[in-house]
Amino acid sequence: MVDQKRGMPVTAHNLPRFRAFLKLAFPVALAATLTACAPGIPAEIDLSVIDREEVRTVPGESLEALRFETEHGDTIEAYLRRPSPEAWGGAALPAVVLIAGRETGREAAATIPGPLEGVVLAVEYPDALPETLAPGETLRELPAMRRSAYRMPGILRGAISALEADPDIDGSRIILIGVSFGVPFAAPAARDERLAGVGLHYGGADLAAILRRNLDVEPAWWRGLLSWFGATVFRRLEPGHHVGHISPTPLLIINGIYDYRIPEESVELLVGRAGEPVRFINLPTDHLMPWDDELMRELADSTVSHFSDVFELREEAEPR
């Protein structure tokens, strides 16, 4: 083997340096290749209900497990939670499409403290998007991961259409909320003029900075390289590229002052790039976790309060 740069054999003396070069060059070359052939984000992906099952019924509301099939043959799980007809008196209801943290998924619909002010459709992530990232497995599964990730905004728009078609729902009062891991998927999906409002909670812009904060990899230079790699490969999902295009749809951004997962500069960048009308609420909390009922109630109350015109009780749906 010959070191082409120095024109000399790669010996035991310079082998570590050569291996370090390969370790750096491989992610850069792979990222460049994947970026050059990156697919676009589909405008909308049609969802067809292929199965539904009642999960529970409690006084005042119901919870259903839905299974959708996409036009690509993917299966998407979701929970649909709604107030019972007796609770809302037959009026057409507002609705929320919710994409929550990776560790929560569709369970977010079940864990939101009640009572509900509208219908909630919480969409689960495809199996190709893992809950944890192991560098070796990630590289092997990367093409499938990216395909699924780039389809998620289109799936969320398909979920909006599914709610529009529901006769119990007022299609002019649908909002989209992305929380934590869901923000990079909700931000591009939110460029949809049908929405009455958008919430981006406990997320931020600059995917590389967020990955650097969350990847459990040492040393620091390797973590930085992998973070750059991930942000490059998934660059079309960068929230900072999309948040400015949500305007003029009202936008609510909520974050935690002590959030250990989202760097402060990422939050500031997301807010700074947002167009009007936008409101930013910085709560004295850490990152939102699914078992924090008190914070989830505060988040839900803040969202409903901000979009009070969407959630107000109406006798009938307003014309679109």
pLDDT digits (tens, 9 = 90+) for 32-87: 444 444 556 767 999 999 999 988 777 788 999 999 998 888 899 999 999 887 76
- pLDDT score for 294: 83
What average pLDDT does range 20-42 have in this prediction? Answer: 50
Least confident of 35-44, 222-231, 275-284: 35-44
What is the C-alpha separation between 276 and 35, in angstroms, rounded?
Answer: 31
**Is pLDDT at 236 greater than 90 in this prediction?**
yes
Query: So where are the chain's domains?
Result: 38-311
pLDDT digits (tens, 9 = 90+) for 157-183: 999 999 999 999 999 999 999 999 999
- pLDDT score for 147: 87
- Indicate the DSSP class of residue 10: -
- pLDDT score for 13: 53
- pLDDT score for 314: 65
Share of the chain above pLDDT 90, in %: 51
- pLDDT score for 266: 97
3-state per-residue secondary structure call for 216-246: CCCCHHHHHHHHHHHHHHCHHHCHHHHHHHC
pLDDT digits (tens, 9 = 90+) for 101-115: 877 788 888 888 777
Q: What are the structure tokens assigned to 56, written together?
A: 């529970």
**Is pLDDT at 194 greater than 90 in this prediction?**
yes
CATH code given to domain 38-311: 3.40.50.1820
Residue 237 sits at the vertex; the CA angle it makes with 231 and 238, to the nearest 5 degrees, is: 60
What is the C-alpha separation between 196 and 317, in angstroms, rounded?
Answer: 14
